[in-house]
Amino acid sequence: MQNEAPAIHLVTSTGSAEFAHLTYALTHSSVIGLDAEWKPHHSLSAFPTVSLLQVACQLIDSRELPVFLVDLQSIRLTEAYDVLREMFVCPSVIKLGFRFKQDLVYLSSTFCEGGCGPGFDRVEPFIDIAAIYNILQPRRIPKQSCKGLATICKEVLGIFLAKELQCSDWSQRPLTEEQKIYAAEDARCLVEIFNVLHQKVVREGIPSLSQKKDQHSEVDTGLKHVLEHPNGCSTVMRATFCEPANMVHKAVVEPKNGSEIVDGVESMKPCDTSMQVDSYLLWIIRKHGDKLFLGDADRRPKSFKMKAKKPSGSAGKAPENLDDWQGPALWDSVSGGDGCPKFLCDVMVEGLAKHLRCVGIDSAIPVSTKPDARDLIEQARKEKRVILTRDLKLLKYGYLIGNQIYRIKSLLKNDQLVEVMETFKLKISEDQLMSRCSKCNGRFIQKALTSEEAVEAAKGLQVIPKCLFNRNLEFWQCEDCHQIYWEGTQYQNAVQKFIDVCKLNVM
């Protein structure tokens, strides 16, 4: 990602400067990342109401990447509808999303309920980030489309995308600062991942470009017109956006390049998108562009009746207080365990597993990427672990007895760590901090490595920065995954962080 902090604009009214800025950005962007948030919803008879729409805009006239958080609970949907609808279908703007069809279904339902006619029926040109991830993978690696956005961000951008706020209550107002940052990063990272693909195409060139000049007729007529005729872009943009822009009355907004303030409304001059969309973007659209389309079946909730199961034996009704910790734990000496705390964090709290490892607690994650309840139970029993989860469905299984599972109540990882420590009465010492591999949960080789030994051990696995060689640092290697660690600034910051979170008394 870019080093500078993203500009985040909360849009709550069509009469605000933020909405004027959003309208400007939509008419001056070549790539837009889209995401949506809603309150967790369990009804099968109706779609959830979208509370927030995130729009990240890659401006064509600057290196800015502003993110707009459109508060759909505050803004007049009927006044914002045309602006968003035209952006969804604008042929000169690439729209990005991650498994965005469900978001589009919920968005369309939300706007229909708000009096906006048919809602939204399509988004084009559209590229799914999962498809971009598959394109960027080396050919020798099998294509994988089931990875989550956080994993893709880590592998493509080298950054960690926290997901613990995904299931928070997005209908509550005001939004917390943490929710705003989370929502903005979810949309912003989509554009950053696309930029990696764009740079790859620029670097490697377009295959057989000279032999395919006569194939432009295959391109969508609207897009071809915009790309080949500058005046055509002006026509499309004026027809698309100028009318919605006139809804912004008396907005106090700083003039942007190529615009002027007339009677309190920012008057858009014809954008030069056609001159900015280079042949590389055109090739990407032709090669990988797609469109999302909602049919009649997509607009109806897929309600169905669950078959009732006969209560029998271990599959009976779950105790009402299973939500609380029952104890004792399987690893407890009372239960015949070795006395060492061991946890199994399901996919909803994998971030908690890394925090527990950082304070020296044995914390595993599911062996399978998509485990069912039986897989989790079997792994927990075999390894004598307590399951940590936020999934209410797991609590409904009668055979999940109280000393095998605990539901995490907190949303943030630091709070989750404190909750586990207090619930299970864990005692953490400073010596335990950073004593496990945060990547795989393994232990470290007892003997520290020199810089020369670390470089040799890391061959083919990771690169040790040369700037570390003259700093007289100690290196440590995981016994299981062979990851190399060193006590640098990041290590010191992490130690201090967990000293504060765990409230350790350090002399």
Collect the ranges in the chain with pLDDT lower than 50: 1-3, 140, 143-145, 209-276, 304-320
pTM, 2 dp: 0.56
The architecture CATH gives domain 8-299:
2-Layer Sandwich (3.30)
pLDDT at 380: 86
Q: H/E/C letters for each residue in 60-106? A: CCCCCCCEEEEECCCCCHHHHHHHHHHHHHCCCCEEEECCCHHHHHH
pLDDT at 275: 37
List pLDDT tens digits, range 306-355. 444 444 444 444 444 555 777 788 778 787 778 889 999 998 899 999 99
CATH for the stretch 310-427: 3.40.50
Cβ–Cβ < 8 Å for 9, 69 = yes
Query: 């709070």: which residue's tokens?
Result: 415
For residue 63, how far is the Cα from the chain centroid?
22
What is the edge-to-edge ordering of all strands in the sheet holding 122-128? 8-11, 67-71, 50-59, 29-38, 94-97, 122-128, 290-293
List pLDDT tens digits, range 266-314. 333 334 443 345 688 888 888 888 989 998 888 888 654 444 444 444 4
pLDDT at 373: 85
Cβ–Cβ < 8 Å for 391, 348 = yes
Residue 118 token pair: 């048919």
pLDDT at 266: 39
Q: Going by C-beta distance under 8 Å and a sequence separation of 6 or more, which residues neighbour residue 277?
A: 30, 92, 226, 227
Q: Going by C-beta distance under 8 Å and a sequence separation of 6 or more, which residues neighbour residue 44?
A: 301, 302, 303, 304
Residue ranges of domains in the chain? 8-299, 310-427, 431-507
Q: Residue 153 and residue 157: Cα distance in Å, rounded?
A: 5
pLDDT at 83: 96
